Amino acid sequence: MTELPEEDQPSGKGLIPADDDVAMADAGDLMDPLNPMSTAVAFVNALRADDGPNLELLKVAVTPESWPAWGDFSEVVEMVGDRGLATQPDAPASGEPDVRYVKLVALDDPGQSVMSDGYTLVPAQIITLQFRPSSGYWRVHGVGDYLRPEELPPAT
């Protein structure tokens, strides 16, 4: 994974212990299109559709500029695997209001909860989202490493 300079590190704290109610409160209202977590959930669910990736839903969940790079989404489906979404989107440390990062974390048991006395390190892939004023909601631009705000297309 790309090591970001300190000024580009996301503002999140990593995985921290929380009960289910607190974790879901961190995720916010998943029916709110202004919530980046609602797009992240829709994106992962569209990848995991029963008959393979739901391309119609994915086409509205990803940025138009990134569409050609996704191909048939098979690589990202493999990358995502059975990872789970962390419940809090992180803003870039540099403060761009139109970029958020959501972690896809891998646990030994996908149904397990993480409890610790401090920070817990687990393997993660990063979903980079960008708010698009023209559509009024967040869109996924990439999965894998963090994409720095200056690497993203203009938010139209």
What are the Cα distances from residue 21, in Å, to 24, 87, 119?
A: 5, 11, 19
* The two three-digit tokens of residue 35, written as one number: 């919530």
pLDDT (mean) for 68-76: 96
User: Residue 33's pLDDT is what?
Assistant: 76
Complete domains list, the chain, with CATH: 17-111+118-151 (3.10.450)
User: Residue 16's pLDDT is what?
Assistant: 46
User: Residue 123's pLDDT is what?
Assistant: 75
Q: Read out DSSP for 51-113?
A: TS--HHHHHHHB-GGGHHHHTTSHHHHHHHTT-EE-S--B-BTT--TTEEEEEEE--SSTTPP
CB of 39 within 8 A of CB of 129? yes
CB of 138 within 8 A of CB of 36? yes
Q: pTM for this one?
A: 0.77
Q: Does residue 39 have a pLDDT over 70?
A: yes
